[in-house]
Amino acid sequence: MNKTPKRLPLNLLLLFVAIPTMTLASQSRSRSATPPSDPHQGTTLLIKAFVVRVNLQSLYALGASPLDLGDQPVSVAHLQSCLKEPSDALVIAGKRIAVGRRSRGTSASKTTIYLSQSPDSTNRRFNPYSAGIDFSASASLLPNRRVSLEYSWVSSSFQKVEDEPNQPPSTSTRSWNGSIHLDLDTPQIVGSVQDETTGIFLVLSANIQSSSPPQDASSNGQ
């Protein structure tokens, strides 16, 4: 006598079908929730800063005007032309720092001199006086080979004066800071000061120093 196979209840069949469907849906949501990798995560940028002193008459001869009043504004190209002649322009200070993603780089240098301010040669005392450069920057890459850059530059230097006994040295200080956008590999003037005969310009640029491919989270079994 043949026995008729028993049929599973309908609710059990629905449960067996629903379990794998729910599992696939959960895996799909997990994959979609994984944040995309940062294409610049392993990129290191080299930030370069230079201070250029220029004779204003040399800029006028090139048709450039530091006042930017209708004439050609001073550009990096004008500075480069003037630097061909040491009497026209000179790089008086420079710093380079490498920065990674979400990090800030700093570079500092200092010169200290010791001067005697005691008129008594038998009991001379020396006092220290310092001047130097502090440069810091942070940067991040943007689309279309652009760079978002935050920077701070503070420099001081001793001024040449007539020898005056028992007098401290005179110093000159320059300070620039701000947030700008640069094109990669393209220097840009970001600050300047001037007097009657001379202009001082701060030039910044950013270059990719090294880059590594982003790590794919799926390769780690996630």
Query: What does the pLDDT look like over 44-63, one tens digit per residue?
Result: 999 999 999 999 999 999 98
Question: Which comes out higher in pLDDT, residue 39 or 48?
Answer: 48
Residue 145: DSSP 8-state = T
User: What is the reported pLDDT for 88?
Assistant: 96
Q: Are 135 and 46 in contact (CB under 8 A)?
A: no
- R_g of the chain, CA atoms, integer Å: 32
* Residue 92, pLDDT above cutoff 90: yes
Confidence at residue 103, expressed as pLDDT on a 0 to 100 scale: 85
**Per-residue exposure over 140-168, b if at least 16 CB sit within 10 Å of its own CB, e if not:** bbeeeeebebebebebbbeeeeeeeeeee
pLDDT, position 73? 87
Is 132's pLDDT higher than 80?
yes
Which pLDDT score, from 0 to 100, does residue 169 have?
83
pLDDT at 119: 67
Residue-level pLDDT at 9: 55
pLDDT (average), residues 70-75: 79
> pLDDT tens-digit profile of 146-166?
999 999 999 999 887 556 666
- Using one digit for the tens of pLDDT, what is the confidence trace for 116-127? 776 666 667 788
pLDDT at 159: 82
Closest CA to 82 of 192, 185, 201, 196: 201
In the predicted model, what is the mean pLDDT of residues 186-207? 95
Residue 188, by phi and psi: left (phi above 0), alpha (psi -120 to 50) or beta? beta
Residue 162: partners with Cβ closer than 8 Å, 6 or more residues away: none
Percent of the chain exceeding pLDDT 90 equals 50
Q: How far apart are CA 93 and CA 47, in angstroms?
A: 14
Residue with tokens 């020396």: 126
With 90 as the cut, is the pLDDT of residue 29 above it? no
Q: DSSP assignment, residue 119?
A: S
Domain ranges of the chain: 44-209
Pairing of strands 89-99, 198-210: unpaired
CB 131 within 8 A of CB 154: no
Distance, in Å, from the CA atom of 211 to the CA atom of 100, rounded to the nearest integer, reads 10
Q: In the predicted model, what is the mean pLDDT of residues 2-15?
A: 50
Evaluate if residue 66 carries a pLDDT over 80: no
